[in-house]
Structure 1
Amino acid sequence: MKAAVRRDYCSPSQLRIEQTDKPIPKNNEVLIRVYATTVNRTDCANLTAKPFIMRFVLGLFKPRKVIVGTDFAGEIISVGNEVATFGIGDKVFGFNDTGAESQAEYLTISEEHIFNIPTDINFKQAAASLEGAHYAYSFVHKVDIRSGQHILINGATGAIGSALLQLVRQFDVKITATANTKNINLIKSMGADKVHDYTKEDFTKKAEKYDFVFDAVGKSTYGKCKSILKENGVYISSEPGPYAQNVFYPLLNPISSKKVIFPIPYKTRETIPYIIKHLELGKFEPVIDKEYSLSEISEAYKYVIKGEKTGNVLIRLINNESTTKPKLS
């Protein structure tokens, strides 16, 4: 089978497509033909081991898993003899932030880590609905959102931010978001009441105050956002911060009226059923920016690392279905 491989932490240009053996499922595993996967921020961190803390999870000197990829959507083509809840032909998807080895034509995975794709959701939409929404779930469920509150989402155009905007929209709250010029209409269409164009203005310099600042791209800091938080307001970032300070700021919460929460992700057994529910109800639709073939995966990584993508970047492995792409401008 063809797979995207790196044996050392590297840049996108050093990622290679290689011919490898098709994996054989263990007794409790299934073999999946991968139809679609994405290149996301987690993938980029896993590829480059940046931030350095990733090495303590993935392998200190070399990655333990050489095939890259964290999410997938595909079809089961073989099952181990102990698999009880899935069968050949089932359409499934899943996400593993430490690596699912999914940027390949086939993968094996234990049955407790896969989920049935909802009816009427195609493989591309399924793959795009995972990584960003998984992390967005943590923002929403680490705090107590109440009717009438005012929430700012910084970076509403990314995979996390666009999912977070749609999940927060389910609450009776006022939402202000940041976006670049071309995506202002898209972000408004997904539920933002007000949008700041971050290419033209600094939201931290505005007079508005917020109950929550959700930094979905991790490009701001608590220090910059503290002045726009209401008394008892909360700042949450998707990143540890320039000096990993967001991991330690919560220690000061008992003596500070304004709080910082570091959103350690929940298990996928909790997040993905929530995602499935919102997909089925039509309350969450993943945003898809660009599509690449597996042979173009280095270019996909380069594009994502630039930090300018809108929503999700797809890698298609079987080109037998279409997806409706939201208008991006």
Structure 2
Amino acid sequence: MKAVVVRKYGSPEDAVVAELPDPTIGRDEVLVRVEAVSVTAGDARLRAGRFPRGYGVPARLALGIRGPRHRVLGSAFSGVIEQVGSAVSGFRPGDEVAGMNGISMGFHAQLAAIASNRIVPKPSGIGHDEAAAVLFGGTTALHFLRDRVRPGARVLVNGASGAVGTSAVQLAALDGARVTAVTSAANAPLARRLGADATFDYRSRSLEDLPQHRFDLVFDAVGNIDRRIGLRLATPEGRVALAVADLWNTIRARGRVIASPSQESPGDMARLLALVAEGRLDPVARTLGGLETIVEAYRMIDSGRKVGNIVVRPWA
């Protein structure tokens, strides 16, 4: 099979297409023909060995010293089951599924193995590209918004045009919030289409210009809002959710500040896919092409100007 291999931390060009043996599966796993897979900011950070401040040493010890221990990246996917393990129930060959494989990754490839408890059925009403696109940003946004948004709440989404931000704007709006989207002027129409009531152009104004003590939830999907800034923007009872926190802000996160790792629960994945199938959630997906276009995808992510989600098709 073909796969994109990252043997050392480095530039987009260090992600190369190679021929690898087809994976084998365990008794609790399924083998998936990968029809579509996201290329995410998380993939880009790992490819480059670029981790939030303070995480450099522990991340390399956990994930690989000179390069990723799992050399085939990619987690959020959609595809078709080719084979099931002897202990798998509820799935069979030919089923269309979507899922996420956490730090084990392996889905920037034509075939991949995954535990059956990490996949969910893909609704027939949506395509593989849409299914693969919505999971990474959607599960992160759900993790931080869950039980923290009520009708009429004022929510600030910083980084509203990225994979996490586009999902956060929509999910908060679906819960009845009044959303202010921090994005560029060029992406303001997209943010409004997704449900934002107001936009704030970070390129022409500083975050310091945002109104103090106004927001019931400050959600940062970029990494340039810390505990101090977030609490200044939040109401006295408001909360601050840091999706890209450095080590110090993660350690200090308590009370009104949340910076816990997001979860990849099947329930959340199924909910997101259902919302897409119902036409209530737009994955904001851009499909580039085959595995060889991952270099282009990484360049877009590294530029800081990626909009929404990027998807590639391993069999294209």
What TM-score, normalized to structure 1?
0.88
- Corresponding position: 1:7 with 2:2: no
Aligned to 1:180: 184
Please give the alpha-carbon distance, in whole angstroms, between the structure 2 residues aligned to 1:288 and 1:113. 22
Secondary structure at 2:238 match in 1: strand
Partner AA of 1:285 in structure 2 = D
CA deviation after TM superposition for structure 1 residue 60, in Å: 4.1
Aligned to 1:171: 175
Contact 1:101 1:107 in 2 (8 A): yes
Contact 1:246 1:261 in 2 (8 A): no
CA deviation after TM superposition for structure 1 residue 116, in Å: 0.8
Aligned to 2:41: 41
Please give the alpha-carbon distance, in whole angstroms, between the structure 2 residues aligned to 1:315 and 1:87. 25
Aligned to 1:93: 98
Partner AA of 2:178 in structure 1 = K
Aligned to 2:238: 233
Cα 1:56–1:267, aligned 2, differ >3 Å: closer, same or farther? farther
Cα 1:118–1:31, aligned 2, differ >3 Å: closer, same or farther? same
Aligned to 1:128: 133
Alignment match of 1:190 (pick from 187, 194, 206) = 194
Partner AA of 1:152 in structure 2 = L
- Corresponding position: 1:245 with 2:256: no
Secondary structure at 1:129 match in 2: helix
1:154-195 C-alpha deviation (Å, 9 max, x unpaired): 111000000111111122221111111221111101110001
Partner AA of 2:202 in structure 1 = Y
Partner AA of 1:247 in structure 2 = T
Alignment match of 1:274 (pick from 268, 271, 274) = 271
Aligned length: 310
Please give the alpha-carbon distance, in whole angstroms, between the structure 2 residues aligned to 1:54 and 1:308. 25
Please give the alpha-carbon distance, in whole angstroms, between the structure 1 residues aligned to 2:38 and 2:148. 31
Cα 1:114–1:206, aligned 2, differ >3 Å: closer, same or farther? closer
Secondary structure at 2:161 match in 1: coil
- Corresponding position: 1:63 with 2:49: no
Alignment match of 1:137 (pick from 111, 133, 142) = 142
Alignment match of 2:218 (pick from 213, 227, 235) = 213
CA deviation after TM superposition for structure 1 residue 290, in Å: 4.9
Partner AA of 1:163 in structure 2 = S
CA deviation after TM superposition for structure 1 residue 281, in Å: 3.0
Identify the range of structure 1 (262-271 vs 19-28) with the bigger mean alpha-carbon deviation: 262-271
- Corresponding position: 1:314 with 2:311: yes
Partner AA of 1:280 in structure 2 = A
Please give the alpha-carbon distance, in whole angstroms, between the structure 1 residues aligned to 2:287 and 2:91. 31
1:127-151 C-alpha deviation (Å, 9 max, x unpaired): 101100011111112x532332211
Structure 1's unaligned 5+ residue stretches are 254-258, 320-329
What TM-score, normalized to structure 2?
0.91
Aligned to 1:256: none
Give the fraction of aligned pairs with identical amino acids, expressed as a percent.
29
Partner AA of 1:181 in structure 2 = A
Please give the alpha-carbon distance, in whole angstroms, between the structure 2 residues aligned to 1:80 and 1:236. 39
Cα 1:45–1:97, aligned 2, differ >3 Å: closer, same or farther? farther
Contact 2:28 2:116 in 1 (8 A): yes
Q: Indicate the RMSD between aligned Cα atoms, in angstroms.
A: 1.8
Secondary structure at 2:36 match in 1: strand
Aligned to 1:26: 26
Aligned to 1:325: none
- Corresponding position: 1:156 with 2:195: no
Contact 1:292 1:300 in 2 (8 A): no
CA deviation after TM superposition for structure 1 residue 304, in Å: 0.9
Please give the alpha-carbon distance, in whole angstroms, between the structure 2 residues aligned to 1:157 and 1:307. 11
Alignment match of 1:283 (pick from 280, 284, 287) = 280
Cα 1:204–1:213, aligned 2, differ >3 Å: closer, same or farther? farther
Secondary structure at 2:188 match in 1: helix
1:230-286 C-alpha deviation (Å, 9 max, x unpaired): 112211111123xx22212224x4xxxxx2111321242342122133223322120
Cα 1:57–1:94, aligned 2, differ >3 Å: closer, same or farther? farther
Identify the range of structure 1 (284-293 vs 178-187) with the bigger mean alpha-carbon deviation: 284-293
Aligned to 2:115: 110
Please give the alpha-carbon distance, in whole angstroms, between the structure 2 residues aligned to 1:59 and 1:312. 26
